Amino acid sequence: MRRLKIVEALREALEQSMAVDPKVFLVGEDVRIGGGFAVSRGLVERFGEHRVLDTPISEIAFSGLAIGAAMSGMRPVVEFQFGDFVFCAMDQIVNQAAKLHYMSAGQVDVPVTFRLPVGANRRGAQHAQCTESLFLNVAGLRILTPATPYDAKGLLIAAIADPNPVLFYEHKLLYPFAGSEILKSLDREVPAEPYTLPFGQAVVRREGRDLTVVATMLMLHRVLAAAEILAREGIELEVIDPRTIAPLDRETICASVGRTGRLLVVEECPEQGGWGNEIIASVAEKQGGSVKLRRLGTAPTPIPYTTSLENWVVPDTGRIVEACRAMLKNGGPG
């Protein structure tokens, strides 16, 4: 089996996309030496400095550059060293990239991909946020949240080829992931040839009868670890990975909840305003009060720098296990 780490899968996706299409180029801070997490390492040696562009520390500037290039027919990939820095380019992404196709009556496409490393990893309040929920209210953006090397490669190639602006989220703690004994169900071969994955198509990572749990990126792995613990108690979780939250595969989630009668959404975004609320609302609209619903997200506080406090703020496997037990404690749904 050909195994890759997520960082390697992303690098291969960039390399193959650039090899196939000369309009694809990479732009960001220090991308010629690999960027903040070595994803782009070696690309400048193959493709040259005219396609791997180092920039000043100005997200507002290089995001605007990329959007203009996309409008002119290029396919830029923008790397933010940390996903938190996307806030410096909010006007470019929200008011320009997301709306220009609509405002031009379809005459202008904006095929730009913004790569955003996110997640708590002991770097403090300005370098550890998950921001994907903040963009769900912006029409015109696609939001991708891969959790495995296979998905990371296929979704990134698809994102670069897509005519729409894409926010591509990468959890920093998953960069070295290449499978494990506990999570061997996710450890699948990453093909050497290019391939794409569809947006808006969730995957059932584990089948179960008692409780549907939806999670993305790092939280998916923690949910699967919790599922192993609960299985020893006779509790079977059905674990769903949306893979993309815009578009969102509501049908797969609702069908699962229809079988289990219970839904827990686990996310690293804060519970207030989180993307999990959209899933819960969709299920509630379809199935009303016949199901038991709960969300588990990050506490409503900036991400602390101290390890012990960060561990308290962000959901871990133990709290996921406790939340599942609590939902099953009283028996039936509702």
- Write down the H helix ranges in the chain: 6-20, 43-47, 59-71, 90, 100-103, 149-161, 217-231, 250-260, 275-287, 307-313, 317-329
Tokens of 125: 């309040």
Asked whether the bond before 247 is cis by omega within 30 degrees of 0, the reply is yes
Cα(66)–Cα(71) distance, integer angstroms: 9
Active site members: 59, 127
Q: What are phi and psi of 213, to 5 degrees?
A: -125, 130
Residue partners of 265: CB distance under 8 A and separation at least 6 = 213, 214, 215, 274, 276, 279, 280, 294, 295, 296, 297
Name 146's Cβ contacts closer than 8 Å, sequence gap at least 6. 6, 152, 155, 156, 169, 170, 217, 243
* Residue 331: both structure tokens together: 């028996």
Q: Could you give the CA distance from residue 219 to residue 319 in angstroms, rounded to a whole number?
A: 11
Q: Are 30 and 54 in contact (CB under 8 A)?
A: yes
Query: Which residues, other chains included, contact 71 with Cβ-Cβ below 8 Å and sequence gap of 6+?
Result: 100, 108, 109, 110
Angle at 305 between CA 304 and CA 311, to 5 degrees: 65
C-beta of residue 119 within 8 angstroms of C-beta of residue 217: yes
Count of beta carbons in the 10 Å neighbourhood of residue 154: 22
